[in-house]
Amino acid sequence: MIIGIPRETFAGENRVALVPDAVATLAADVQILLESDAGRAAGFADDAYVERGAQIAADRADVFARADAVLQVRTYGANPEAGRADLSLVRNGQVLIGASDPLTAAAQLRELADAGATLFAMELIPRITRAQSMDILSSMATVAGYKAVLIAAAALPRMFPLLMTAAGTLTPARVLVIGAGVAGLQAIATARRLGAVVQAYDVRPAVKDQIESLGAEFIELDIDAGDSEDAGGYAKAQDETFYNRQREELAKVAGANDVIITTAAIPGQQAPLLITADAVRGMESGSVVVDLAAERGGNCELTQPGETAEEDGVKIMGPLNLPATVPFHASQMYSHNITTFFKHLLTEEGVLQLDMEDEITRETLVMRDGEIVHPRIRDSEGGD
């Protein structure tokens, strides 16, 4: 079997789906065919792949023409503009594995199905114990949470730690992290390592111990969240009455902080609005808001996705695709996820097998034989 690794074409995407060290773990079962310079932006030269047994393809078309399975960071669904050029290269029955934005890219997925692709969406990895090593949402959220704190620290006109110097005492920065999923917990840990005083809020009371174990204060708002967590561990969407009350309470907390990092996102849905424009105006000039939900519309009313806005001296940052700004380690983590998943699909004889009785395979398979087979995706496109 031949695995193809094309260079990523999404603007600003510096990651690569497979790092050189992963080639050796797969070499016994498959042959790796790499588009030249596919890993260069992440810090991995072609020679490093060749040394571990990979081959360099003549060009991108050669990768798709020869590969039985193509591993990508972003398939066409998650790369709707530049990815369209790959449609003509996809062969009937060819397996594509990568991030696909499956709940919101119905048009692109329909085109891939028409091309005859078999697509696995890595965002749909179920949140079960045996699939943890395949979970790209968690691994990439780790990178995003870390980097969010660094860009906040760079934008803030003060330092994070308490410092006692001959020139006087510098008080520590105060950081509020909203959402204590993987990104939020990593943001808490990073802000604490930099010396900030950290508070954190999550609609799920069950995460209080995790927040406090990292040295942050858990903020309890005067609202009833009810059944706030779904079976997968994500925060459930709430009604607008709840969100109105939540915004009022968070506005009272916001003004006491120098940095707010918001991480509340629900897969496939618009991000909940948590920080109002009035709440931002209640913060001191020079304060910073980093909205990690910017790709889903943002948790802050003033967020402009991909831009840095300013209101009364407060910077509101809406970064997109933060993992791509730390491409070496983000690629390392992503590569481990996708390699583990691919090996899960292989039989002992090195044959790709789609066992629909297996939860991991069943939940990630979006399409095969020209049909969209995943129930949630069929529903999102209005039936199939």
The answer to whether the beta carbons of residues 76 and 87 sit under 8 Å apart is yes
Tokens linked to 219: 């903020």
Q: Rounded distance, CA 379 to CA 204, Å?
A: 28
Tokens linked to 319: 């970064």
Tokens linked to 285: 């000039």
What single letter denotes the amino acid at residue 68?
D
Tokens linked to 91: 């062969």
- Selecting among 234, 238, 243, 378, the annotated active-site residue is 234
b/e per residue, 125-162, with b = 16+ CB within 10 A?
bbeeeebeebbbbbbbbbbbbbbbbbbbbebbeeebee
What single letter denotes the amino acid at residue 311?
E
**Which residue intervals of 277-358 are DSSP H helices?**
277-281, 327-345
Q: Rounded distance, CA 87 to CA 75, Å?
A: 10
The answer to whether the beta carbons of residues 70 and 338 sit under 8 Å apart is no
Whether residue 135 lies in the annotated active site: yes
DSSP code per residue over 31-70: EEEE-TTTTGGGT--HHHHHHTT-EE-SSHHHHHHH-SEE
The answer to whether the beta carbons of residues 200 and 216 sit under 8 Å apart is yes
- Selecting among 72, 94, 100, 138, the annotated active-site residue is 138
Question: Who's near 44: CB < 8 A, 6+ residues apart?
Answer: 16, 19, 20, 328, 331
Q: Rounded distance, CA 73 to CA 127, Å?
A: 20
Q: Rounded distance, CA 276 to CA 245, Å?
A: 12
Q: Rounded distance, CA 334 to CA 113, Å?
A: 25
Whether residue 230 lies in the annotated active site: no
Whether residue 138 lies in the annotated active site: yes
- Selecting among 127, 192, 281, 378, the annotated active-site residue is 127
Whether residue 234 lies in the annotated active site: yes
CA angle 296, 300, 303 (to 5 degrees): 70
- Selecting among 132, 213, 270, 353, the annotated active-site residue is 132
Catalytic residues, by residue number, are 127, 132, 135, 138, 234
